[in-house]
Amino acid sequence: MKALALIVDGALTRQAETAALAPHTESLAALERGGTVGATLRFEGIVRETEADLNNTNAPRALAALHYQTYDPMAQRALQELANSVAQQHALTSLIALHSRGRVEVGQISFVLVAHAAHRAETLAAITQFIDRMKKDLPIWKLPDWKVVG
Amino acid sequence: MNFVTIDVLVFGAAHVCAKSDRVSVRIAQPATAADVLAALAAQHPQLAFTLSAARLAVNQSLAQPRTAVCALDELALISMVGGG
């Protein structure tokens, strides 16, 4: 396994992540035992408590949750292609990308990226590039579910 | 000239603005992806704010401006994406 990308329904809780990766447990364990990994970097995207309100000059507005829309199956394919590309470009040992679909509440995780490589520099560069390209190219949208005040 | 009406799937802010997961455009055949984007701008001006950097997906793949489009294709407006 070089790169693995999955879209998961709901927040990326520890249980959801474990369930999503369960079919790949053996290959992940083999990777950890392989001796080639000198750096592991994990990034978590978390839903903030405010989001810019497009209907009010982008002023920050309190959120209850974000609803992630995906254009399926293109989103799954594009996420996997991006993971393949970034893993290859930065000579990663492996790259795991998980992204939520559907409702994710404030404070919950919507995106997980884990990079393994021989050295830290590759993992840092890979994480940054992956996120930049994801936000530009992938058919995934977030819709605000505004917090009801009062 | 032969005209057809084609649905275009919309997402995110475009979905909210359209109050639907799709909008229809009427275009002359033969047509390209660029023609569909131009028709969206002309026939759905409320979506103009999403179109400046928009691309069209044809049958689940990003299309080039000259990609041919016909009535049986699945079209999706890819604009203002924001994963993460």
- Tell me if chain A has a CB within 8 Å of the CB of B48: no
Structure letter (DSSP) for residue A58: T
In a domain? residue B83: no
- At B23 the pLDDT is 98
Per-chain mean pLDDT for chain A? 94
In this structure, what CATH number is given to the domain that contains residue B29?
A: 3.10.20.30
pTM score, two decimals? 0.92
In a domain? residue B17: yes
In a domain? residue B65: no
H or E stretch including A77? helix A74-89
User: Which chain A positions have a beta carbon within 8 Å of B82's beta carbon?
Assistant: 135, 140-142
Across the interface, which of B12, B60, B61 has its CB nearest the CB of A141? B12
The answer to whether the CB of A94 falls within 8 A of the CB of A87 is yes
The number of folded domains in chain B is 1
In a domain? residue B18: yes
What ipTM was estimated for this complex? 0.91
Bond before A60 cis per omega within 30 degrees: no
pLDDT tens, per residue, chain B with 84 residues: 799 999 999 999 999 999 999 999 999 999 999 999 999 999 999 999 999 889 999 999 999 999 999 999 999 999 989 888
User: Which chain A positions have a beta carbon within 8 Å of B60's beta carbon?
Assistant: 71, 73-74, 77
The number of folded domains in chain A is 1
In a domain? residue B47: yes
In this structure, what CATH number is given to the domain that contains residue A49?
A: 3.90.1170.40
Find the angle CA(A35)-CA(A40)-CA(A42) to the nearest 5 degrees.
155
Structure letter (DSSP) for residue B6: E
Domain that holds residue A75: 3-146
In a domain? residue B44: yes
